[in-house]
């Protein structure tokens, strides 16, 4: 690995040394702050160089969000034919100019520098020359401390290894734990900011669920692997997380995803400043909808005792309403029976007319 990453070791160590010369003026050559700020400056240089890749990442992520419904339809249509499904997916990516790997470009581009910095600090801890750092520079960097923790020490170091760096194991572990927590928290808030403000809420896709899972997985991963990182690497990763958080805040504010909460907030601000002119018909329709909502009356909420008393009153009302009907039915029956009784009497009292023969 040293032969492959040798040029990167030289580049990383050279950048750190140049910034160390600058920060040695106010802080001193052996100060931990000189070396710590040099590592932070290395992060800033790398992240500035990665801005074009970050722009591609944003575009790719938004394209992937927009393509999720079509991708889901292809998966449902060709769920029994994996090869055809892959062909249709590639065709869709080609037609829309989307590269799924673009969203990973900043992380992939940073990885070699991260590995190189890790190896540089590891060699410094073992008192070995690396890149342009030799002799006194290696010794200064090896014993430089940030809040009492050498930049080459890690949480998993033994007490003997920490003593060899002229430090205390308790100081090293307290500092590393705090930095790991800050690193995990910054990663969590970065992902949470993306999920709550910059996701299109009009479309429900599996992509949103994946992002939500990553919001919890990434901080746990940082916490697990962070205990093996030297303090200098933790400084590097914490700085890059803070940079990502700030960069994302800027992008969300200036160029939010259409359909997201941040997009609606930006549209409202521009509308309030008069920079967006809406169609009068749309304004009138929105006003009518708001008036209808304002005039709509909601039923009052009743307590449990009120609901039970109302339920007891309903059967009583039914009984009182049914009583006249019963009385009316009974009277009608009496009238019918009376009428029926009269008819036989009238029929019995009537005399039959005599025929002409009987008269004779």
The structural domains of the chain, with segments of one domain joined by +, span 2-269
Structure tokens at 279: 């169609």
Mean pLDDT of the 31-50 span: 89
Long-range residue pairs from 216-222, CB within 8 A, at least 24 positions apart, any chain: 216/188, 218/187, 218/188, 218/191, 219/184, 219/185, 219/187, 219/188, 220/184, 222/180, 222/183, 222/184, 222/187
Q: What is the Cα–Cα distance from 203 to 225, expressed in whole angstroms? A: 35
Can you say whether the dihedral through the CA atoms of 187, 144, 17, 227 is positive or negative? negative
Residue with tokens 């575009």: 59
Q: Which two tokens stand for residue 179?
A: 């930095």
* pLDDT, tens digit, 9 for 90 and up, residues 258-289: 667 777 777 777 777 777 766 566 666 667 77
pLDDT in tens, 237-248: 899 889 988 888
Q: Provide mean pLDDT across the span 148-174.
A: 89
- Centroid of chain to Cα 317: 55
> Tell me: the pLDDT tens digits for 179-235?
999 989 988 888 887 777 766 655 555 556 666 777 788 788 888 888 888 898 899
Buried residues in 86-121 as b, exposed as e (16+ CB within 10 A): eebbeeebeeeebbeebbebbeeebeebbbbbbbbb
Tell me, what's the pLDDT at 314? 59
Which pLDDT value is given to residue 85? Answer: 82
What span, in angstroms and rounded, lies between the C-alpha atoms of 239 and 197? 23
pLDDT of residue 70: 80
* CA distance readout (Å), 58 to 29, 76, 105, 218, 292: 40, 27, 11, 19, 39
């Amino acid at each position: 690995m040293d032969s492959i990453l040798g040029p990167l070791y030289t580049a990383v160590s050279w950048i750190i040394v140049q910034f160390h010369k600058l920060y040695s003026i106010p802080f001193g050559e052996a100060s931990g702050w000189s070396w710590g700020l040099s590592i932070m400056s290395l992060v800033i240089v790398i992240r500035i160089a990665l801005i074009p890749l970050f722009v591609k990442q944003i575009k790719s992520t938004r394209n992937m969000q927009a393509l999720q419904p079509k991708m889901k339809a292809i998966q449902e249509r060709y769920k029994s034919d994996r090869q055809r499904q892959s062909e249709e997916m590639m065709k869709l990516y080609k037609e829309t100019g989307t590269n799924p790997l673009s969203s990973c470009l900043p992380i992939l581009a940073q990885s070699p520098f991260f590995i190189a910095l890790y190896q540089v600090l590891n060699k410094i801890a073992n008192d070995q020359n690396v890149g342009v750092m030799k002799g006194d520079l290696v010794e200064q960097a090896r014993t430089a401390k940030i809040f009492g923790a050498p930049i080459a020490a890690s949480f998993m170091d033994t007490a003997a290894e920490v003593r060899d760096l002229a430090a205390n194991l308790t100081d090293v572990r307290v500092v590393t734990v705090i930095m790991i927590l800050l690193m995990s928290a910054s990663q969590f808030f970065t992902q949470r900011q993306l999920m709550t403000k910059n996701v299109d809420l009009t479309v429900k896709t599996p992509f949103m669920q994946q992002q939500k899972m990553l919001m919890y997985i990434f901080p746990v991963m940082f916490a697990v692997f962070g205990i093996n990182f030297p303090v200098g690497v933790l400084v590097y990763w914490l700085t890059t997380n803070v940079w990502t958080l700030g960069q994302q805040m800027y992008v969300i504010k200036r160029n939010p995803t259409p359909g997201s909460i941040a997009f609606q907030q930006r549209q409202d601000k521009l509308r309030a400043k008069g920079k967006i002119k809406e169609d009068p018909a749309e304004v009138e329709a929105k006003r009518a909808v708001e008036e209808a909502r304002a005039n709509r009356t909601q039923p009052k909420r009743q307590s449990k005792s009120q609901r039970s008393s109302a339920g007891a009153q309903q059967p009583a009302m039914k009984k009182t309403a049914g009583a006249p009907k019963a009385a009316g039915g009974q009277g009608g029956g009496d009238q019918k029976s009376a009428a029926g009784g009269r008819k036989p009497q009238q029929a019995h009292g009537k005399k039959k007319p005599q025929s002409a023969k009987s008269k004779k």
